[in-house]
Structure 1
Amino acid sequence: MKELERKRKGEGEGREAAPESYNTVTKLIAGPFAKEVAQIWPGPRLGEYLTATDTRRHVWHLWFSSRRMSFRPDNPMSTELAYAQLTFGRSKDLITQATGSQPAGLIRALGRLGPKARPARVYRALATILATDGPGAKFIRHAAVLPDDLILGLATLPPGLEAKSVLRLFQKGRLPPYALGYFTWSLARLEKLMGSSAAQSIVAARNPLEAIRDAILDLPFPDPPWPGNSLLRPVTARDRLKKVGDDFENCLRGFHRERQSVLTVINGVEYLYEWCGHEPALLLFQRVGSIGWFLKEARGRKNAEVSDETRAEILKSLASASSLCPVWDLGEEVWHSDGFFQEHVIFSGM
């Protein structure tokens, strides 16, 4: 009995040493999985983890990353079961447990991740890419190095879309990895809408990502909520929006603000109207579902406030448009009860 107590005490001392290892070597190599490693390989066992091959350690990291596993590092029984499973289990079996399949090339790819652990989402992304077996998988199998941003970027590639031209752009350093999925899908959609020549021009551009953004922003504006009249004229194109910004000398002249405004218009969220009365003004309407549009902002040249007389004229003109709310200052208290539109101050300036 005394011998058993001494043995248990020795095991306890071994586990008490884990936090020290966790704070130094374990944290350096195991990174986000340092807690799990310190619990499964405490004290003298830590050498088993540290002396394992990079490939084997990354198989363990993949196992930790999986949402399929129910390992609990704070439960001694779960820890002992995990130790036996990870120590004696075949890498292929552990991968099957972690991913539910055997993605071709996964073990080899794990062996090229280097000595240190990667974030959990990188392991999940790598397994997903290779399980999908699309263009991203082929790229992974032939890549000499596998940085995190590349793996995460390849994981965003939409399945079923041609990505060879996009991946060539990335290989040449002309496209960042985070934009791979967005660029591939957008290019396919623009090619369908505008033709292959438009897509080829984007790919051939000096900055393809900037070119595809411009192509999207140059899409036609949707029909205005109200056709307007001789005094109230909708801004129906990007070129006209730029011209209005220059004429009014307001923030629409700014590169980012102009782009943001165009995007909100083509997304059907906002619409701009020019007031062509004695005192010119620019009106910004925001959509309220299928009900209509309310006046969010109205300013004159250089963001100046408009006079009371012009306000009255604008409201009179709006009264003939059923889809436009003929109220000058809705006030955020209208939506205060549920917080809806609480962030908008109707006459806050443009």
Structure 2
Amino acid sequence: MLFPVLALIPATRTEPSSLLKLLAGEFAAQVAATWPEPHAAFLAAPAARRHLTCLALALGRDLPPIAERLLGGRLRHAIRLVLDPAPSGLERLLGRLGELAWDAEDYRTLLRLLAQRAPAKVLRHAQQVEPGAVRRLAGLPEPMGEAVGLALELTAEGVLVLREAYDALRLRDGPEAADVAASGWARAGSGKALFEAVRDDLTPEPLAPPHAGTTHLRPLRSKAELREAARRYRNCLGDRLSDAATGWQAFYEWEGPPGAIIGIQRDPIFGWRLEEARVGGNGAVPEAAREAIVSELALMGVHVGRSGWRLERLLRDDVGRGYRYWPPSQDVAEAFGDED
């Protein structure tokens, strides 16, 4: 009875072991079919040889005919069995990819990067290369191909957002303009500077201010003027560029003294109205200067008082009951920076 039972037991098992699954990842089944359990030849091989084997599988090479030579002999000769000619630096790089197999697409992406001058130079000199870095390098917009340092500084999500911004520029301004912008991004000195440059290119120039200004009210007509004023007044005006770009708001500088930034906003009832006025550091405008500002805003036809939408909200039967009434003077004081 013993012999029939033994006949049912295969001489070798081609199912990958847990260790092989860990080291070979998605290639474990193919590796196990070539080196059955205990997969000793593959598991005992240096990491560079294991990566070369997985790279061969990622490229669709037939493994059994070359399996023995991939794990033995000189590494450069083994590489030629998979890639001939091979990218410069691949031999050294194979030993710096870590212990675990990469995904097939990551191997193929690595080869594409090694064919590009700037990424290849960085990869060849790296002490350790991980798949995430390769994906970030490959995710850069094409005109940023040499901005390797920036790519390695960014998170994976940062690269995705960068690509999204680049595609948005292509859609809005056309491929040529997007490429010019991305070439400028590549020269940013840090990730922070990079994203500042991207936001700047995404934001159009402000629409023309609705009024030419007065003796003491000077319109801020460009992104550069808005940013320069934000620097001088130490406020968040630089974050309001999108409001100016859509024409929802326009900004003026009151030349004082004291100087102040005046923001006017579209209003469904009054056309344009004073939204806010602030001196340096977002401080409230002194009482002594308010009357002069109101007078010159009136010359431009700008309403100073309650907004149309607040007036509309007060015109409900709950005013004075569930909804508090306040005088228009309170809205004016708020616009000039007074606290409640």
TM-score normalised by structure 2 residue count:
0.49
Output the TM-score relative to the length of structure 1.
0.48
Larger Rg: 2
